[in-house]
Structure 1
Amino acid sequence: MDLSLPRRHGSVSIRLVRPRDARVLQNELLSNRSWLRPWEATSPDGPVSFDMKAGIRRLLQQYRDGSGVPFVMEDHDEVAGQLNVWGIARGSLASATIGYWVSERFAGRGITPTAVAMATDVCFTDLQLHRMEICIRPENKASIRVVEKLGFRYEGLRRRYIHINGDWRDHYAFALVRDEVPEGVLERWVRGQAPQDAATVPPADRLHA
């Protein structure tokens, strides 16, 4: 894949992760343990080694293989977190999933929705994908606010979907397809035209999550 990166809007930018990002990313993850642990993917087979250098190598190999795009989120050129596009499917699906984390000290600045919007636009334009999905634990109000802001549609409850923080957890699924945002996700949000109720979770799913 050959992407036109980095992408920038105001002080926020996204770019491909680099091997030399390992130290700063590991420091951010370690210093944000209590903030990030409730939302982190884990393995049902037990603890895995925390090796950021090896993790970045795997992510970049997935990028070379065409199955993912590992982004770093920055604010004023300072690393604020990560955003990974994963599970890229071609052919009749032409879809992928977005996951992300941001350091606590950068939370509440609009960095994550801006980065998610830019990454989704990259996937729709540069990669010519048709559908982008974000799956979020019902308890993660901050992440749900991101999809609410950007107008991602609620698509349903996925029971015991991803192993998070030591157990299989329910997730809400939100998505957009390219035809819905011909002007781009970022442009639609900046103009204040993202639908405000698209991500609304029905009462029945709120009760059962």
Structure 2
Amino acid sequence: MIKPRHLTTSVELRLAALDDAAALADAYTRSWDHLERWEPARPSNWFTADGQRERLTSALEGLAGGRSVPWLLASGDRIVGAVTLSDIVPGPFRNAHLGYWLAAEAVGRGLMTLAVNAAAEIADTELKLHRLQASVFVHNAASHAVLERTGFIKIGFAPNYLYIGGRWQDSNLFQRILNNRAPGT
């Protein structure tokens, strides 16, 4: 089991749980004006405890199946962000996709840099992955900075990569090599 990690004295990175549904719905509601330009269109139930419980159920099934790791950044009972490793592929690839977001009130405090570094360390030492990859819209300077500060390098450009904000948007592709161990070691 992946243990919580303290990022600061008041914020920890911990696995998501079904009990987080209401707090997660609150975090999205509080920060939607900030997040909307980076997120796909969401149905109205996304902003409810029931909608987030449904989403968390799926995320926790992915965790149980070894396909994903859904973390939350929590400050007491308040959710201030999330980090997710998804599409985990074992074997010779040993790769996962990294995604993350921060609530509006948490931006600019270095929390995501700390969280991404913690997730990468867990991916390396506990999940035995070789590589993480991430995609970032070309105009998202803050997210580019997080990835660069945490050892990711740009490896490509993907035109029309995601449909967000009513249009297809271009992304830059990044990777971080975690180690050069043989699979299973």
* TM-score, normalised via structure 2 length: 0.87
Pairwise CA RMSD of aligned residues? 1.9
Cα distance in 1 for partners of 2:52, 2:77 equals: 20
Letter in 2 for 1:177: I
Cα distance in 2 for partners of 1:79, 1:122 equals: 21
Aligned counterpart, 2:183: none
1:129-208 alignment runs, 5 A limit = 129-179=129-179
Change (3 A) 1:131 1:108: same
Residues 127-164 of structure 1: CA deviation (Å, up to 9, x unaligned) = 00000011100111111110121121110101222222
Cα distance in 2 for partners of 1:159, 1:121 equals: 30
Change (3 A) 1:48 1:10: closer
Deviation at 1:78, TM superposition (A): 4.0
Aligned counterpart, 1:87: 87
* Contact 1:97-1:134 at 8 Å conserved across structures: yes
Deviation at 1:26, TM superposition (A): 0.6
Structure 2: runs of 5 or more not aligned: 181-185
Aligned counterpart, 1:194: none
Structure 1: runs of 5 or more not aligned: 181-209
Matched, 1:55 2:55: yes
Cα distance in 2 for partners of 1:31, 1:76 equals: 16
Cα distance in 2 for partners of 1:150, 1:168 equals: 27
Aligned length: 175
Letter in 1 for 2:155: E
Cα distance in 2 for partners of 1:136, 1:84 equals: 14
* Contact 2:117-2:150 at 8 Å conserved across structures: yes
* Contact 2:23-2:78 at 8 Å conserved across structures: no
Aligned counterpart, 1:128: 128
